[in-house]
A and B are shown apart, each in its own frame.
Chain A
Amino acid sequence: MDNSDSSTSKPASPQQKKKTGKKTAKRTNPKSRLRERRFRAIPASHGVIMGTAIVIRQEATPVLAEQLPPEQIHHELKRFSNAVASCANELETVLSMAQETIPHSVAAIIESQILILKDFTVNESIMHRIGQGISAERAIIEEFDAQQQILYSAKDSFLRERAVELEHIKQRLLAHLRQKKLISSVPKNSILVTPSLTPSEIMLYNESGMSGFITEISGIASHMSILARSLHIPAVIGLRNATKYIDSGTPLIVDGYAGVIIANPRPETVAKYIRRKSELDKKEQKYGKIAKLPSQTTDGRKIHLHANIDTVEDIDTAIASGANGIGLVRTEHLIIKLNRFPTEEEQVRWYSELAERAYPLPVTIRAFDVGSDKTIDALSPEANPALGLRGIRLLMKHKELFASQIRAVLRASHHRNIRLMLPMITSLSELQKARTLIEKCKNSLRKEGLEFDASTPIGVMIETPSAALMARELGALADFFSIGTNDLTQYTLAADRLNPSVANIYDALHPAVLRLLKLTVDAARYHNIPVGVCGEVAGHAAATELLLGLGMVELSVVPPLLPELKKRIRKTSYASSVLLANEVLQYNSGSEIRKRIAVMKKK
């Protein structure tokens, strides 16, 4: 994976600033125009493409007429109702196009825009303004601005993004007032660079030749981004001043996975991206078919197939391999990389990048699980680290450090696709204390006016026998369970998984371990919360059917194992896996269980 993006300039790249000094359109030195430039913004829709920029700049706000003479009011009212009619007509045309090619949810977006356009209260209010001698343009702008103000003041980012929808409709309406139809035809392989795009514009441009787009406006949950994803159009959004930095005709590479844009790429860069694209295409060819198929059993039980990852880049592989979420982000990776605890700000940046890159898929962030075999310099060595100060124990001892992580996770949660997971819980009081701290963090964020998802799910790692045995009690305070079978096995059987002398004792399919899994699932069902496995056993071919039969609804494995795991899930019947699990739970040795599974597999 390409890691050189660290040198990439931020959206408002300082090196571009000199250009804005003089407004007179002096042709820039051709050499500098052709210099390779990299920009980094928000990846909104996956895929890598190369193409030519078509820059569409926002129309200037119309000149607002002074008070209209009374005799012109009637004409102005007519102009307004004509504009509404032709704008609605345009949207209805797009809608009829849309219904054949895109999911119902997207068609519903355009339908709602038609409703907005025809909204009688707003139209009445606009006509009332015109009746007082205000021009149609100004009446539309004033009324929409007033409505937008209300939405912009909402606490909720979802609702604030709705203000953008109103802006789109306002702009379309103004364009129709000036009798400007949409320019919808662009040459093949065009990459649109524009302040923002409406769903209908995306539909129309996609029909002609647009292969990707870059916008100045952001919002990965906006209709623009949702539509790009459902049409598989690579898109990078939120690049401020994109239309200033990029000229029409500029060759561009858009990396919708990483959120990277390269203008005037050097031949070496092009070669590199051709390689990257062909690698991704190969993966797509290899796994594409299986990656796109739903992850469910032959009898229709849906299984969330998640990926365990360490780095932001792992997300691309996970998605290409068909993950429906990230089941485990090992945040220790950040400590190892920095060789110290990261600051809150560093974490916010990292978690936000994870959330944005994976969006709309959920991302499960596990709180720092340091200690045990993952020792770091910052900690004093212990004689028996696996049974020492690790996971939640260490976090609660260094509360300020834990609080900074909780705050960072929450601050990255406003897209509502983040879950937080607590490692090494062994008692109810640990979970209670952790939740109290989380509430404190939420309150402090509220006080500071920082945005977050107050309903961010808090999950418990079930990786000690005590947690499994107490799952009924823990479940009352947990939003989900994730079973770490590696540690659960090692603690249940008192066998170090890294010690070859006891390797024959360490067995994730030992009846004792399976019974603990069963207890955990029963408790999860009692509380109606999701339960899954993120340990290595989730990826074992022999164990898939058994885990499904035990009632797991999430399996999380390293990305390379995803396609095979999904194939196995899709071959399994949930009904017969339940029978298998019930039978196997009666057995009294791991070897017996393995034999039984092997027989099952041969059949």
Chain B
Amino acid sequence: MIEQTVTIRNAAGLHTRPAAMLVKLTSTFRSDIYLIRDGFTINAKSIIGVMTLAAEQGSQLRLRIDGKDEKQALQEITAFFESGFGEL
């Protein structure tokens, strides 16, 4: 299991479109993927879960990945957060 902190960088926050893109990305991995915010844990493969994080610009989330392809998943998911979901 690996964990890392990620930051929401785009102005609009983790709204529907990036949430959908994130879920599509996380669903390509076999590992269990979770996002944690203020002690609130959601399944990162669930779009409603991701939306309900209500993560606005600047907020920090804990990314937890557990499974065989966790390294690859961590790399791609953190890169997606770094890119501000392509909205920077």
* Cβ–Cβ < 8 Å partners of B52 in chain A: 147, 150-151
Interface contact B12-A158, CB-CB below 8 Å? yes
Interface residue count for A (Cβ, 8 Å)?
Answer: 26
Which of B20, B24, B43, B48 touches A147 (beta carbons < 8 Å)? B48
**CA A159 to CA B52, docked complex, whole Å:** 8
The interface bits of chain B over 38-82 (1 if a CB of A lies within 8 angstroms of the residue's CB, else 0) are 000001011111011010110000000000000000000000000
Interface contact A122-B46, CB-CB below 8 Å? yes
Interface residue count for B (Cβ, 8 Å)?
Answer: 21
Which of A109, A116, A156 touches B13 (beta carbons < 8 Å)? A156
Answer whether residue B5 sits at the interface, using C-beta atoms and an 8 A cutoff.
no
Answer whether residue A589 sits at the interface, using C-beta atoms and an 8 A cutoff.
no
Answer whether residue A455 sits at the interface, using C-beta atoms and an 8 A cutoff.
yes
Output the nearest chain A residue to B43 by Cβ-Cβ distance: A121
Interface contact B20-A112, CB-CB below 8 Å? yes
Given contacts A115-B47, A121-B43, contact A158 B15 (CB under 8 A): yes
**CA A154 to CA B40, docked complex, whole Å:** 14
Answer whether residue A119 sits at the interface, using C-beta atoms and an 8 A cutoff.
yes
- What's the least CB distance linking A238 to chain B, in Å? 20
Output the nearest chain B residue to A161 by Cβ-Cβ distance: B15
Answer whether residue B33 sits at the interface, using C-beta atoms and an 8 A cutoff.
no
Answer whether residue B30 sits at the interface, using C-beta atoms and an 8 A cutoff.
no
Answer whether residue B4 sits at the interface, using C-beta atoms and an 8 A cutoff.
no
Interface contact B17-A156, CB-CB below 8 Å? no
* Cβ–Cβ < 8 Å partners of B17 in chain A: 105, 108-109, 112
**CA A151 to CA B15, docked complex, whole Å:** 11
Answer whether residue A162 sits at the interface, using C-beta atoms and an 8 A cutoff.
yes
Answer whether residue A33 sits at the interface, using C-beta atoms and an 8 A cutoff.
no
Answer whether residue B19 sits at the interface, using C-beta atoms and an 8 A cutoff.
yes
* Cβ–Cβ < 8 Å partners of A493 in chain B: none
Interface contact B47-A116, CB-CB below 8 Å? yes
The interface bits of chain A over 93-124 (1 if a CB of B lies within 8 angstroms of the residue's CB, else 0) are 00000000000010011011001100111100
Answer whether residue B1 sits at the interface, using C-beta atoms and an 8 A cutoff.
no
Which of A112, A155, A223 touches B19 (beta carbons < 8 Å)? A112
* Cβ–Cβ < 8 Å partners of B56 in chain A: 154-156, 158-159
- What's the least CB distance linking B84 to chain A, in Å? 13
Which of A120, A121, A122, A150 touches B54 (beta carbons < 8 Å)? A150
Answer whether residue B23 sits at the interface, using C-beta atoms and an 8 A cutoff.
yes
Answer whether residue B83 sits at the interface, using C-beta atoms and an 8 A cutoff.
no
Answer whether residue A37 sits at the interface, using C-beta atoms and an 8 A cutoff.
no
- What's the least CB distance linking A457 to chain B, in Å? 11
**CA A165 to CA B19, docked complex, whole Å:** 13
Answer whether residue A411 sits at the interface, using C-beta atoms and an 8 A cutoff.
no
Interface contact A122-B48, CB-CB below 8 Å? yes
* Cβ–Cβ < 8 Å partners of A112 in chain B: 16-17, 19-20, 47
- What's the least CB distance linking A88 to chain B, in Å? 13
- What's the least CB distance linking A44 to chain B, in Å? 18
- What's the least CB distance linking B85 to chain A, in Å? 11
Output the nearest chain A residue to B46 by Cβ-Cβ distance: A121
**CA A147 to CA B20, docked complex, whole Å:** 16
Answer whether residue A407 sits at the interface, using C-beta atoms and an 8 A cutoff.
no
* Cβ–Cβ < 8 Å partners of A147 in chain B: 48, 51-52
Answer whether residue A166 sits at the interface, using C-beta atoms and an 8 A cutoff.
yes
Q: Of B43, B46, B51, which is in contact with the most chain A CB atoms at under 10 Å from its CB?
A: B51
* Cβ–Cβ < 8 Å partners of B20 in chain A: 108, 111-112, 115
Interface contact B11-A166, CB-CB below 8 Å? no
Interface contact B23-A115, CB-CB below 8 Å? yes
Output the nearest chain B residue to A113 by Cβ-Cβ distance: B16
Output the nearest chain A residue to B14 by Cβ-Cβ distance: A159
Output the nearest chain A residue to B19 by Cβ-Cβ distance: A112
The interface bits of chain A over 548-585 (1 if a CB of B lies within 8 angstroms of the residue's CB, else 0) are 00000000000000000000000000000000000000
* Cβ–Cβ < 8 Å partners of B48 in chain A: 116, 119, 121-122, 147, 166
* Cβ–Cβ < 8 Å partners of A116 in chain B: 47-48, 51
Restricting to A27-82, which residues have a CB under 8 Å from any CB of B?
none
- What's the least CB distance linking A487 to chain B, in Å? 32
Output the nearest chain A residue to B49 by Cβ-Cβ distance: A121
Output the nearest chain B residue to A108 by Cβ-Cβ distance: B17
- What's the least CB distance linking A530 to chain B, in Å? 15
Given contacts A154-B54, A156-B54, A156-B56, contact A162 B45 (CB under 8 A): no
Q: List 30 A-B contacts (CB under 8 A).
A: A105-B17, A108-B17, A112-B17, A112-B20, A115-B23, A116-B48, A119-B47, A119-B48, A119-B49, A120-B46, A121-B43, A121-B49, A147-B51, A150-B52, A151-B51, A151-B54, A154-B54, A155-B56, A156-B54, A156-B56, A158-B15, A159-B15, A159-B56, A162-B15, A162-B16, A166-B48, A166-B51, A223-B16, A416-B11, A416-B12
Minimum-distance CB pairs A-B, first 9: A154-B54, A112-B20, A121-B46, A150-B52, A156-B56, A159-B54, A115-B47, A112-B16, A119-B48
Given pairs A111-B20, A122-B46, A154-B54, 11 additional interface contacts (CB within 8 A): A109-B17, A115-B47, A116-B47, A116-B48, A120-B45, A147-B51, A151-B54, A155-B54, A155-B56, A162-B51, A455-B57
